[in-house]
């Protein structure tokens, strides 16, 4: 039974409150036996863990908190555009590790078993905490997968005091196929350009973005040109685009995030050339 309890804790990050073990059907006698035979370790009163416990989840459980916001997004299956520099943690009390970003207030939904808030609370915390573009990417991915609706988010962010947060929700689209497409779409629309994403073009297939109906923007992720076949395919797509009357510009994450002004300038130059 000790191995079974250790396995259950391991599947939930390696750290767990004993009260949650009891709720999941393990008796306190069984838990004490697992502690005695070394399968699990007492971290403090009411909290046990395994040797290979996830460090962030251990911090969360020891603080009687839950991982949230951008720190929870990837675990919950949501898109992000950067990794958090600090752990984002929700707690009901004022005591919290100094190295964490604090989130307070009642949760809208009961959290699922484990050490993370639910998707809806993760979104609300991200919208209130993160820069607009980061929040938009997280929120749009949740809406896209059907985990929450724009109407539901707007209802939970009422009034003028939530104006900036409501603007994030209102900016959610239904046409992007990746975080990079959201970033690029947002960048081009911010300077008044007409943007279409995931556009089918005869003889070429589906392209990431078409700007002003005249130029193609292709966005390359972290696996860009991971093999020669992919490299050759991209060259053929570029040539096919030119032959179809659509010049192609290609950008990666770093271009869009670190030098967006250069991207806009190049797109504007190309639009003038094909006018």
Tell me the per-residue pLDDT of 113-166, one tens digit each, with 9 for 90 and over: 778 999 999 999 999 999 999 999 999 999 999 999 999 999 999 999 999 999
Query: Percent of the chain, pLDDT > 90?
Result: 52
Integer Cα distance of 203 and 240 in angstroms: 7
Q: What is the largest CA-CA distance in the chain?
A: 78
Residue spans of the domains in the chain: they are 2-53, 66-170, 179-273
* Of 76, 176, 166, 75, residue with least CA distance to 124: 166
Integer Cα distance of 160 and 163 in angstroms: 5
Highest mean pLDDT out of 17-31, 144-158, 235-249: 144-158
CATH superfamily of 179-273: VSR Endonuclease (3.40.960.10)
pTM, entire model: 0.80
Q: Extract the tokens encoding 69.
A: 């916001």
- 5 pLDDT above the threshold of 50: yes
User: Who contacts 222 (Cβ-Cβ below 8 Å, separation ≥6)?
Assistant: 253
């Amino acid at each position: 039974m000790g191995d079974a309890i250790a396995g259950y804790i391991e599947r939930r990050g390696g750290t767990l409150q004993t009260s949650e073990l009891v709720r999941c059907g393990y008796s306190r006698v069984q838990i004490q036996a697992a502690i005695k035979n070394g399968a699990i370790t007492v971290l403090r009163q009411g909290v046990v863990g395994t040797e290979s416990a996830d460090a962030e989840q251990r911090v969360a459980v020891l603080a009687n908190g839950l991982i949230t916001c951008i720190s929870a997004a990837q675990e919950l299956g949501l898109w992000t555009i950067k990794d958090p520099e600090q752990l984002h943690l929700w707690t009901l009390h004022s005591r919290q590790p100094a190295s964490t970003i604090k989130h307070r207030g009642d949760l809208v939904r009961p959290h699922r078993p484990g050490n993370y808030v639910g998707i809806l609370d993760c979104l609300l915390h991200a919208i209130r905490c993160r820069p607009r573009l980061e929040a938009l990417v997280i929120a749009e991915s949740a809406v896209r997968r059907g985990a929450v609706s724009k109407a539901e988010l707007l209802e939970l962010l009422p009034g003028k005091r939530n104006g900036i947060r409501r603007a994030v929700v209102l900016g959610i689209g239904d046409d992007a196929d990746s975080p990079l497409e959201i970033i690029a779409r947002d960048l081009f629309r911010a300077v008044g350009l007409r943007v279409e994403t995931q556009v089918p073009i005869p003889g070429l297939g589906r392209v990431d973005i078409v700007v002003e109906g005249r130029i193609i923007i292709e966005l390359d992720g972290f696996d860009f040109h991971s093999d020669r076949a992919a490299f050759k395919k991209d060259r053929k797509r570029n040539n096919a685009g030119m032959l179809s009357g659509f010049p192609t510009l290609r950008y990666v994450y770093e271009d869009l995030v670190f030098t967006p002004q250069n991207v806009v300038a190049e797109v504007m130059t190309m639009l003038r050339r094909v006018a």
